[in-house]
Amino acid sequence: MRFRKPLAFSHAIAATFSGVETASPSAIRDLQEHRLRVQLDYLAARSAFYRRRFRAANIDVSRIRTIEDLARVPFTTKQDLRDSLAAMPPLGEHLAASLEDVVQIQASSGTTGSPSYVGLTEADVLAWQEMTARALFACGMRPGDLVLHGFSMSKGFVGGIPIFQAIQYLGARDIPIGADGGFDRLLIACRDLRPRCIVGTPNFLLFLAEKAKELAGVEAADLGVECLIVGGEPGGGIPAVRQAIEQRWNATCRELMGGTDLGCTYWAESNADGGMYMVAPDHILVELIDPESGDVRPFDVGATGELVYTALGREASPVLRFRSGDHVIVTSDGRSGGVRTTPAVRCFGRTDDMLIVRGVNLFPSAVQDVVAATPGTNRVMRVVADFPGHTTQDNLKVLVERAEGADPKGDAVLKSNIEGRIRNALSVKADVTIIDANFFEKPGARKVSLTLRKMPELRGM
């Protein structure tokens, strides 16, 4: 398999890693519809899972020729894939390539149950590398860069080996310590090797910055890092969190997004434009739908909805009209004069995380946005959803860490301030409890979950 893309260094001064990111909308559409027809024929021939679904929905794939025709095809959900994996281990009934052709297996984080396992052929691995390299390039990484790897390298997560592979493919050099290698080792490597870029989750990189002086003897801002690339959890798109990360490191912070079932990453910010652009329209066809009705919506600026994905050219574990659960707002339609001609979005929550508080739909990331912008906090909070399901008629319970060194005598004023801000911003009444700074375990290899299902024991409170 290919370690580095041929002529990778020729991209050093290019505007994008691939010309498809700047192709005309009509050219992208023609390419997608051609690849869609090829993918559908492949599924009809190779996937028992999708053949059965086509029969059940009375669908003749030869009549699905355009992007609009795709709306007639039923959605694939995460539960569908879990059922498929359970029915035919190890890679499920939706495996559409010979097991002998699978060269790599990745796993989801398993935050909502058992991990999902995804197979990759050699061609799939190369497609993942290409998509992810485009995303990293959009966020500011360049061929020749030295990169400190702060995502977890263990458990088959896509932030580990696939990001490592993509960094090499891009022409950069990865220092593969990983979050699970220990924040002390990461900071010492950062001090000794002076990487230009660091990749990792936003909360973990913020924590690294806070520990830099203690463990490496140097403030993070003096380590010479220029480019921080974050993803995997809420934070990178929250202005107050981003500002804190950039100030601590004296570096730019850009966000990317993806998912194990489609690839590693395929949405990414550029240095000049707001929101994360779809950088892989030749590998993934994306739709925006109304989460309730399932109706397709156009990618108009300001529109909101859930992202739905169809793989184009995938061999081992292709998915068709897969409901991601990612809820986004469109920040660019790709037609407004930017470098890229694909849409851009900002993710504000996931279906799995959404709570309904007295009839109001609420994402914990929105609460974090409010808390992180409130003076006197440590920017750390948790929503306590200690009720069955996702719906409550009670006030929202929120735990908020006070700022380090702050006097607890000011907790009453801080509590009232946060409750007022949440009420004004989110139309929800909250019962806020102020807790000690550093009450919660600092982020490490695992993603940070903003929701607790039971109230923790509050020592001395």
* pLDDT tens by residue, 220-271: 999 999 999 999 887 788 888 899 999 999 999 999 999 999 999 999 998 7
Task: Label residue 459 by pLDDT band (50, 70, 90).
Answer: low
User: Is the bond preceding residue 162 a cis peptide, omega within 30 degrees?
Assistant: no
Residue 330 counted as domain residue: no
Residue 381 counted as domain residue: yes
Of residues 165, 154, 43, the one with CA closest to residue 103: 165
Residue 394 counted as domain residue: yes
- Work out the angle between the directed axes of helices 364-372 and 411-426 (0-180°, nearest 10): 130
Checking if the pLDDT of 343 tops 90, the result is yes
Q: What is the mean pLDDT of residues 426-441?
A: 90
Alpha carbon 4 to chain centroid, angstroms: 24
| pLDDT, averaged across the chain | 91
For the chain, give me the number of helices (H) and strands (E)?
10, 21
Greater pLDDT, 145 or 272? 145
Residue 41 counted as domain residue: no
Residue 362, pLDDT score: 86
Q: pTM to 2 decimals?
A: 0.87
Residue 350, pLDDT score: 83
Number of domains in the chain: 1
Residue 448, pLDDT score: 77
Residue 412 counted as domain residue: yes
- Provide the 3-class DSSP secondary structure of residue 10: helix
Say how far apart CA 209 and CA 414 lie, in whole Å: 26
* pLDDT tens by residue, 8-39: 887 767 889 999 999 999 999 999 999 999 99
Of residues 176, 111, 172, 113, the one with CA closest to residue 148: 176
Residue 14, pLDDT score: 84
Say how far apart CA 181 and CA 310 lie, in whole Å: 35
Average the pLDDT over each of 71-85, 335-349, 370-384 and give the range with the smallest value.
335-349
Residue 114, pLDDT score: 64
Residue 308, pLDDT score: 98
Residue 389, pLDDT score: 78
Residue 457, pLDDT score: 84
Residue 435, pLDDT score: 93
Q: What is the mean pLDDT of residues 331-346?
A: 88
Single-letter amino acid code for the residue at 266: Y
Checking if the pLDDT of 385 tops 70, the result is yes
Express as a percent the part of the chain with pLDDT over 90.
71
Q: What is the mean pLDDT of residues 269-298?
A: 92
Residue 92 counted as domain residue: no
Residue 109, pLDDT score: 62
Residue 360, pLDDT score: 81
- Provide the 3-class DSSP secondary structure of residue 31: helix
Which CATH number goes with the domain that contains 424? 3.30.300.30
Instruction: Write out the residue range of the structural domain in which residue 397 sits.
Output: 355-452
Residue 443 counted as domain residue: yes
Say how far apart CA 437 and CA 443 lie, in whole Å: 14
- Provide the 3-class DSSP secondary structure of residue 316: coil
* pLDDT tens by residue, 169-206: 999 999 999 998 888 999 999 999 999 999 999 989 99
Residue 7, pLDDT score: 80
373: burial class by Cβ within 10 Å (0-12, 13-18, 19+)? Answer: middle
Checking if the pLDDT of 436 tops 80, the result is yes
Checking if the pLDDT of 112 tops 60, the result is no
Residue 97 counted as domain residue: no
